[in-house]
Amino acid sequence: MKDLASKTVAAPLSRYAPFRRAGDIVYFSGIIAADPSTMRIIKGYSDLPLEARKLAGEIGEMSSDLKDGPIAAQSWWILNSLRLTVEAAGGTLNDVVKLTQFFRNLRDFPIYNRIRATFFESPPASTVVQVSELLPTPETLLEVEAVAHIPLARGPGG
């Protein structure tokens, strides 16, 4: 087994590896919507890069954007971070075979699911769990962990 890190993947917020390879299987640590450059939780569309806001669902109407913005922005941030981390491991999102999604509120799942569909051509096996709290703050609405099958020949550390 190898712990792997990458210059293209943000450093974890605590002491753990962003992913770990065991043969052709790569396990990805849970990802939350935290901007490592500011150490702040993503709270809404305004925290996303301009080009990502429309992809995440921003429509420019205050009532909708304020209601859906926090979970939509966190969903986009997390799935984009997962994409970058999977690529650093030598794979693509098509290599992801399992997602586990931890929600503070299961009512947020439909918004997350809509955004997930923009990242995955066909979704991997999936488990959705509601939890009472996520680290590091109450503003954290979602955490996603993943497992991928990335043959050693394609990934680093092989």
Instruction: Say what the pLDDT of residue 2 is.
Output: 43
Burial class (CB in 10 A: 0-12, 13-18, 19+), 60: exposed
- What pLDDT, in 10s, does the model give residues 50-81? 999 999 998 988 878 899 999 999 999 999 99
Beta carbons of 36 and 13 less than 8 angstroms apart: yes
Instruction: Say what the pLDDT of residue 13 is.
Output: 64
Closest residue by Cα to residue 18 from 88, 102, 108, 106: 88
Residue by residue, DSSP assigns 77-130 as HHHHHHHHHHHHTT--GGGEEEEEEEES-GGGHHHHHHHHHHH-SS--EEEEEE
Domains and CATH numbers, the chain: 2-149 (3.30.1330.40)
- What pLDDT, in 10s, does the model give residues 109-144? 999 999 999 999 999 999 999 999 999 999 999 999
Instruction: Return the half-sphere exposure (C-beta side, CA atoms, 13 A cut-off) of residue 83.
Output: 11
By 3-state DSSP, what share of the chain in percent is helix, strand and coil, each rounded to 5? 35, 25, 40
For the cut 80, the answer to whether the pLDDT of residue 158 exceeds it is no
Q: In the chain, what is the straight-line distance between the N-terminal and C-terminal CA atoms, in Å?
A: 10
